[in-house]
Amino acid sequence: MDSSIEGATEAGHGDGGEVDPVAGTAVQRAADGSSGRPPGPAEAGAGGAAGAAVTGGAVAAPPASLSPSRAGDFMQCPLLYRFRVIDRLPEKPSEAATRGTLVHAVLERLFDAPAAERTAPRAKSLIPGQWDRLRETRPEVVELFADDPRGERLARWLGEAEQLVERWFTLEDPSRLEPAEREMFVEAELESGLRLRGIIDRVDVAPTGEVRIVDYKTGKAPRPQYAEGALFQMKFYALVVWRLKQVVPRRLQLVYLGSGDVLTYDPVLADLERVERKLLALWEAIRQATETGDWRPRPTRLCGWCDHQAHCPEFGGTPPPYPLPVRAAESAGVPQGRMGPG
């Protein structure tokens, strides 16, 4: 990377991506289609054979870990968390999320080339091959363009991916970057036993040892009042890195390809300690909801993006039978399935 992390472009703000600040990365993903990663074993939890049942074609088990996306799901809507993590209900791929996956793959693969060859034309030339690879590894994305026999909509969609890739070169110079890690899986267990895990798009390490965590978003940057919600994911990753390496990252950087903005934040230890307290409170709420089976929907305007309306009581639906053992609530105290102060 650059010899100085301070050389990073400072953040600007554009319209769009305006989301509920407490909903974290899941809300931002729904608003801008930036994640592109479906819930997988690393996010949905694993283990806990006791009480396991088959639902939605998968084995249900109590959550065993927490990722930024799944934390955001619970804060957005506890019932959504249940549908994704415990019931494992299928979700249709979207053009926006799939485009995000494609662009992420291209930006990752570009760094395989020597620095001098990391050009915009080279990056755009990677798109067809990465799209072919995506269709092989995730055949369900083919249905996105099943009703496009002439390929016109697909061509337009690929052109939009090209534009996002090309815009990245106006925000960062990959010929001056040598990432220490790309698409890095991280996992750390806190003293409480809570296991945190996720995938970091890019980790840069300066010659002086300073660490920068970078995440690409294919949507627009949020307005200033929603920036804290957008940074939730990054602070989560910073917490994991701190717990693993005993190093507080020097900079957190969100690169918004949809609007051409870069949002940066320089965390301090107190930030990470606050995030840890919030995640512990969140995990306790998830634990209680898991044990009681009390997962309450939280209606917001983001419900329009949800694939599970047919199962949601807010839309006249009925959730599938709860696949885990339940216990009676101990008291009429704090409502289950809610995030307490953190």
Whether 50 shows a pLDDT value over 60: the answer reads no
Structure tokens at 334: 């704090």
Mean pLDDT calculated for residue range 128-154: 95
Predicted confidence band of residue 327 (pLDDT cuts 50, 70, 90): confident
Quickly count: other Cβ atoms within 10 Å of residue 242's Cβ.
Answer: 21
Whether 257 shows a pLDDT value over 50: the answer reads yes
Instruction: Report the distance separating Cα 153 and Cα 158, nearest Å.
Output: 9
- Give the 3-state secondary structure of residue 125: helix
- Give the 3-state secondary structure of residue 129: helix
* pLDDT per residue as tens digits for the range 149-201: 999 999 999 999 999 999 999 999 999 999 999 999 999 999 999 999 999 99
Whether 240 shows a pLDDT value over 90: the answer reads yes
Structure tokens at 327: 């216990």
Identity of residue 323? P
- The contacts of residue 139 (CB under 8 Å, 6+ apart) are none
Predicted confidence band of residue 58 (pLDDT cuts 50, 70, 90): low
pLDDT on residue 225:
84
| Cβ proximity of 102 and 328 under 8 Å | no
Instruction: Report the distance separating Cα 253 and Cα 2, nearest Å.
Output: 14
Predicted confidence band of residue 15 (pLDDT cuts 50, 70, 90): very low
Whether 103 shows a pLDDT value over 80: the answer reads yes
- The contacts of residue 6 (CB under 8 Å, 6+ apart) are none
Q: Where does 51-180 show beta strands of DSSP type E?
A: 53-55, 58-60
Pairing relation of β-strands 251-256 and 211-217?
parallel
pLDDT on residue 67:
97
- State percent of the chain over pLDDT 70: 79
Predicted confidence band of residue 144 (pLDDT cuts 50, 70, 90): very high
* pLDDT per residue as tens digits for the range 265-312: 999 999 999 999 999 999 999 999 999 999 999 999 999 989 999 999
Mean pLDDT calculated for residue range 226-255: 94
Mean pLDDT calculated for residue range 123-128: 98
| Cβ proximity of 8 and 253 under 8 Å | yes
Half-sphere exposure of 218 (CA within 13 A, CB side): 28
Structure tokens at 90: 């299928």
Instruction: Report the distance separating Cα 206 and Cα 204, nearest Å.
Output: 7
pLDDT on residue 116:
97
- The contacts of residue 285 (CB under 8 Å, 6+ apart) are 74, 78, 336, 337, 338, 339, 340
State which of 19-28, 106-115, 219-228 shows the largest mean pLDDT.
106-115
pLDDT on residue 59:
72
Q: Where does the chain show beta strands of DSSP type E?
A: 53-55, 58-60, 181-189, 195-205, 211-217, 251-256, 261-265
Whether 329 shows a pLDDT value over 50: the answer reads yes
Instruction: Report the distance separating Cα 257 and Cα 96, nearest Å.
Output: 13
- State percent of the chain over pLDDT 90: 74
